[in-house]
């Protein structure tokens, strides 16, 4: 009797395990085929589905600041903006490394920095966007460098990763499956902005009040982050790519709040010396005009056009 009950329990557990594994496999597949928004960028890179002449990596200021359709028209080259909102280069590095491994058409990689790019970062941003690739060595290494405990739990404890997602994750699963089944299994969803996310806000009404009430503060410069960026530059160059390091505009009021703004600029310039080309727009003419920003470090759509035109005029002499 006991033996029979034990067999039934084992059989039930095996069936449950098979069901859970099937759900896990189905979820991973669906998430990997959602090509919308920032998750779509991760999927395009990790799925080796984007290989433009010019590739852009960075965080939110790059995502909203590089007007890719304009750069494509001006340069006559394919361009894609893989920058991710709120994502430190310690995390973005896994996408950079994966891209450098598989890309063959790409000639130029733009690394867009900000005053915060050299600071330490210990928190993984939007881990749900990377969970389907947790076994990838680049992803695992990047996430582990920021939060090894969380990364190990998500990778090695079965189904633990689902404790780190919300209802949006399952919506993305459904979107991915719908995309896969309803589009003749196409490799990517057409994005006419090519990863660029224009922001049509004007200078935020409360930004002046926020700046006036804010104390001045330093942004730490982490030497290990600088070395990491040096490593990314070297890795890209070893793959035959020209690395263009760019420091986009920072609004004057925002600059004034950062007590070590000049030191940050010098550290970024030192990194730029290791790249093939370096362009510093942090304190250019755009920086003095609030109508081109919606906050201290983010260009609006109008500012992105102005900046991208200025950028192309600087870059056109090095593009071939």
Q: Domain extents for the chain? A: 50-146+189-315
b/e code 129-153 from CB counts within 10 Å (16+ = b): bbbbbbebebbbebbebbbeebbee
User: What was the pLDDT predicted at 186?
Assistant: 56
Instruction: Answer yes or no: is pLDDT of 187 > 60.
Output: no
**Mean pLDDT score across all residues of the chain:** 93
Count the helices and strands in the chain (H runs, E runs): 13, 7
Q: Which residues is 109 bridged to in the sheet?
A: 55, 243
List pLDDT tens digits, range 31-46.
Answer: 999 999 999 999 999 9
For 258-287, the pLDDT digits (tens) are 999 999 999 999 999 999 999 999 999 999
Q: Give the integer Cα–Cα distance in Å for 184 and 166.
A: 29
Digit-coded pLDDT (tens) for 122-153? 889 999 999 999 999 999 999 999 999 999 99
Which segments of 29-107 are extended strands (E)?
Answer: 54-57, 79-81
Q: Is the pLDDT of residue 60 over 80?
A: yes
Task: Output the pLDDT for position 233.
Answer: 98
Q: Are the C-beta atoms of residues 273 and 280 closer than 8 Å to each other? A: no
Which residues fall within 8 angstroms of residue 293, CB to CB, at 6 or more apart? Answer: 203, 249, 251, 299, 300, 303
| pTM for the structure as a whole | 0.94
Question: Does residue 188 have a pLDDT over 60?
Answer: no
Mean pLDDT (whole number) for 75-94:
97
Whether the Cβ atoms of residue 299 and residue 64 lie closer than 8 Å to each other: yes
Percent of the chain beyond pLDDT 70?
Answer: 98
Residue 80's pLDDT is 98
Q: Which CATH architecture has domain 50-146+189-315?
A: 3-Layer(aba) Sandwich (3.40)
Q: Is 8 a residue whose pLDDT tops 80? A: no
pLDDT exceeds 60 at position 17: yes
Per-residue model confidence (pLDDT) at position 136 = 98
Phi, psi of 157 (to 5 degrees): -95, 115
pLDDT for residue 192 is more than 60: yes
Which pLDDT value is given to residue 251?
97
């Amino acid at each position: 009797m006991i033996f029979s009950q034990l067999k039934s329990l084992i059989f039930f557990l095996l069936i449950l395990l098979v069901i859970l594994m099937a759900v896990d496999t189905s979820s991973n597949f669906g998430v990997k085929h959602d090509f919308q928004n920032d998750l779509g960028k991760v999927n395009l890179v990790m799925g080796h589905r984007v290989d433009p002449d010019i590739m852009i990596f960075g965080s939110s200021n790059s995502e909203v600041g590089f007007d890719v359709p304009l750069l494509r028209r001006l340069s006559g080259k394919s361009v894609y903006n893989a920058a991710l909102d709120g994502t430190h280069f310690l995390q973005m590095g896994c996408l950079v490394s994966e891209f450098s491994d598989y890309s063959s058409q790409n000639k130029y990689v733009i690394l867009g920095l900000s005053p915060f790019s050299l600071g330490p970062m210990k928190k993984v941003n939007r881990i749900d966007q990377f969970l389907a690739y947790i076994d990838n060595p680049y992803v695992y290494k990047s996430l582990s460098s920021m939060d090894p405990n969380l990364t190990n739990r998500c990778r090695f404890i079965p189904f633990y990763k689902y404790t780190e997602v919300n209802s949006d994750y399952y919506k993305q699963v459904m979107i991915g499956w719908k995309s896969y089944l309803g589009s003749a299994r196409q490799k990517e969803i057409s994005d006419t902005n090519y990863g660029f996310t224009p922001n049509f806000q004007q200078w935020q009404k409360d930004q002046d009040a926020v700046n006036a009430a804010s104390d001045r503060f330093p942004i730490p410069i982490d030497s290990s982050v600088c070395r990491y960026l040096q490593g990314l530059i070297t890795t890209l160059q070893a793959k035959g790519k020209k690395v263009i390091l760019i420091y986009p505009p920072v609004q004057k009021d925002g600059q004034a709040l950062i007590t070590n703004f000049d030191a940050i600029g010098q550290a970024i310039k030192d990194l730029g010396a290791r790249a093939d080309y370096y362009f510093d727009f942090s304190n250019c003419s755009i920086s003095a005009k609030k109508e081109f920003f919606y906050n201290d470090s983010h260009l609006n759509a109008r500012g992105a056009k102005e900046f991208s035109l200025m950028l192309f005029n600087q870059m056109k002499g090095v593009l071939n």
